[in-house]
Amino acid sequence: MDAMGYSEEVCRVCGCTEFNCLQCIEKAGEPCHWVAPGLCSACADAGDMDPDERAFHRESTLQSIQDELDEMQDRKADQL
């Protein structure tokens, strides 16, 4: 935690942070992003996510997509 009270996220597998994911770029060919608290996309894609965590992430991603589709349909209906 820094002087402003900000605690930087750190991947529990590879140790990358919000501001330094060079090893993930080398591993995955692109910058990573957070898929779960303490787990970056490069490590999750490499199979480092346990099955329960993978299922939770998949479900939350699908729900987010469905929510966005519902919002888009509502906006379109409002425009008609």
Q: What is the pLDDT of residues 7-58, one digit of tens each?
A: 688 998 899 998 898 988 888 888 988 888 888 888 887 665 667 766 666 6
Cβ-contact 39, 49 below 8 angstroms = yes
Q: What φ, ψ does residue 75 adopt, rounded to 5°?
A: -65, -40
Question: How far apart, in whole angstroms, are the C-alpha atoms of residue 39 and residue 49?
Answer: 8
Cβ neighbors of 27 (< 8 A, separation 6 or more) are: 14, 42, 46
Largest CA distance in the chain: 51
Global confidence as pTM: 0.51
